[in-house]
Structure 1
Amino acid sequence: MGFHLPLIFALLSLAAVALANHAAQPAPQLYWNSVLPNTQMPRAISELLHPDSTNEEKSTNTMNAVGNGKPTDHKGKPENTVLLRVPFFYRVYDHPTDNQLHYKNVAIFFLEKDMRSGTTMNFQFPRNSNTATFLPRESAQSIPFSSNKLSEIFNHFSVKPTSVEAETIKQTIEECEAPGIKGEEIYCATSLESMVDFSTSKLRTRNVQAISTEVLEKGATMSIHKYTTMPGLKKLAGDKVVVCHKQNYPYAVFYCHAIKPTAAYVLSLKGDDGVKVKAVAICHLDTSEWNPKHLAFQILKVKPGTIPICHFLPTDHIVWVPNHKTA
């Protein structure tokens, strides 16, 4: 039996290419592929693994963590940066703030019936300007993440304790350490690996979907527009979801919370500028534990615990749901 050298060389070349591609993938992506081989990675996550290839617009207001923990721009050069806070309200049961009151004319909160085809509402799909990327879990675990270790954290990232960056870091950690409401499970994921582990453990399955809102046109503006709901509303599986919200931090951190009872939807929107959006909406079915003075009740003219309240997710947040059909 003879050797087919051309075939052998071809197979060896393919194997070498496969190994090279495997080695080129970041550790968080390798973990995703091993734990969730049948789950498509949403853009909100993939762009934090390969920012240079997926982000067309680079904000100078970033603080990206690299191996030495120094603040850098996307080219790896040190720069003076500011972490900007986006006024989106993932702690939806809290009392209203000045930022919330500023958005009273925007459909931050709405009712389930408002998602029917043909409904119009004003909305802005805000995006966190901080494009900090994921660290491998081992690297993230080596850096303190605690309000008791703030001086050590500031020193690690060469941040002055009196700076805006230091205040933002402090606020993010304090929000992560704050208790949730009854029935809510909170976890701040400091790596993609830990986000995957938390989400799959709370859903009790690795057969999951991870979905984020996507503005489908490149170069679309993030200003407020009137959006019309298009046909094709889809309710996602399960009555318990895990929602993870991008935070402002020197590396990618997500505030995740498991909420029940909750319904998640995917719907198509078309803006008055022609831009199409694949939007993810979360509907909280039990609001009895929310602050009675919350902005949602002011906008919708309803009382806590009387009717489900919904809101869209920004483009850099992720909802995790079981991957099976509902009745």
Structure 2
Amino acid sequence: MSMIMIIQHHPMHHMDPALNVFFTPKDLKLGKTMPIYFSKNDPSTSPRILPREEAASIPFSISKLPYILEFFSFTQDSPQAKAIEFTLTQCELEPIKVEAKFCAASIESMLDLVGALFGSSTKFKVLTTTQHKKLTTLLQNYTVLEALKEILAPKMIGCHTMPYPYAVFYCHSQESENRIYQVLLGCENGERVEAAAVCHFDTSKSASEWDPSHVAFNVFGVQPGSCPVCHFFPADNLVWVPLPA
């Protein structure tokens, strides 16, 4: 199923524009044009990343929520308080059986935990989505200019930013049939994005995270296991992959 067919059956104005991050492996061909949503990556407004010592000095637990709200001077019914509670709750949920997950409040702790998941003897690297200049429009039609690299990654770790007063990453990993791509995209106004993307080839119910209510299946109009699911990563996300031995 191509992205063209998907958009014809699910017009952009009928769904959340932010869902225009999903595609299929067939869409990664030179000259292919498709609507993609990339959030703005503005470091001046992003939560700052704390050094390990400072992050460790601030409680990070739902049981300490009143203290955390007082520490950051947020009232209990404020939007910021609800965001903090959401993040702490997500970080403390038990992982599903085949998943490993953690929340990292500093780059140092993230590196330690990523290394522990891959194994102490495994070298690894990080991939991100890079915007060559500040995007003026979040949802645009992009054309595949170059497929820079394909990486087979049965084990990968995706780290996603969470709403919090300082930078917190929710990281999770499942061993499955994954392929990571680096793709150069361009649009008519000259903006360029070097995008990191992942394709999950096992989307069956046995893969645990792929239940019938997953948003990707709603976008594609298909059932779990019927086709691979791919998506682009936002610029503030990190993708860790092991290097070949």
- Matching residue of 2:171: 256
2:228 is aligned, of 308, 312, 324, to: 308
* Residue segments in structure 1 that go unaligned for 5+ positions in a row: 1-99
| Alignment partner, residue 187 of structure 2 | 271
In structure 2, the partner of 1:242 is 157
What CA deviation, in whole Å up to 9, does each residue of 1:265-298 have, x standing for no partner? 1111111222111000011222223220222112
Question: Deviation at 1:101?
Answer: 4.5
d(CA) in 2 for partners of 1:306, 1:107: 20
Q: Is the counterpart of residue 231 in structure 1 residue 146 in structure 2?
A: yes
Q: CA separation in 1, counterparts of 2:94 and 2:202?
A: 18
1 CA distance for matches of 2:228 and 2:99? Answer: 16
Q: Is the 8 A contact 1:109 1:310 kept in 2?
A: yes
Question: 2:40 aligned with 1:119, yes or no?
Answer: no
Q: What is the alpha-carbon distance in structure 1 between the residues aligned to residue 211 and residue 15 of structure 2?
A: 15
Q: State the Cα distance separating 1:232 from its structure 2 match.
A: 3.0
**Aligned equivalents of 1:239, 1:296: Cα separation in 2:** 20
The answer for the alignment partner of 1:144 in structure 2 is: 59
Mapped pair 1:190 → 2:110: no
Q: How many residues align?
A: 224
Residues in 1 aligned to 2:26 and 2:20: alpha-carbon distance in whole angstroms:
13
Residues 117-164 of structure 1: CA deviation (Å, up to 9, x unaligned)? 222110121146751212221221221111111001111111111111
- Flag the structure with more relative contact order, 1 or 2, with Cα contacts below 8 A and sequence separation at least 6: 2
Q: Residue 311 and residue 296 in structure 1: after superposition, are their counterparts in 2 closer, same or farther (change >3 A)?
A: same
2: CA distance between counterparts of 1:207 and 1:134? Answer: 24
Number of the residue aligned with 2:85: 170
Quick one: which of 11, 17, 20 aligns to 1:103? 17
In 2, Cα distance between the equivalents of 1:179 and 1:131?
28
Distance 2:77 2:30 in 1: 50
- Closer, same or farther in 2 for the Cα pair 1:111/1:221, shift >3 Å? same
- The one-letter code matched in structure 1 to 2:236 is D
Q: Measure how far apart 1:167 and its partner are.
A: 0.9
Shift of 1:250: 1.2
**Two-structure CA RMSD over aligned residues (Å):** 2.1
3-state secondary structure, aligned to 2:86: helix
- Give the residue type in structure 2 aligned to 1:102: D
In the alignment, the residues of structure 1 paired with residue 16 and residue 134 of structure 2 have an alpha-carbon distance, to the nearest angstrom, of: 26
Q: Match of 2:109, SS?
A: helix
C-alpha distance in structure 2 between counterparts of 1:153 and 1:259, whole Å: 31
Give the CA deviation at 1:233: 4.0
Decide whether the 8 Å contact of 1:187 with 1:257 is kept in 2.
yes
1:101–1:295 CA contact under 8 A, matched in 2: no
Does the CA contact (< 8 Å) of 1:134 and 1:192 recur in 2? yes
Higher strand fraction: Structure 1 or Structure 2?
2
State which of 218, 230, 233 in structure 2 corresponds to 1:298.
Answer: 218
Task: Give the conservation status (yes or no) of the 8 Å contact 1:237–1:321.
Answer: no
What is the TM-score normalised by the length of structure 2? 0.84
Separation in structure 2 between the aligned mates of residue 177 and residue 109 of structure 1, nearest angstrom: 28
Contact 1:237 1:324 in 2 (8 A): no
Scaled by the length of structure 1, what TM-score is found?
Answer: 0.64
Q: Please say which structure displays the higher CA radius of gyration.
A: 1
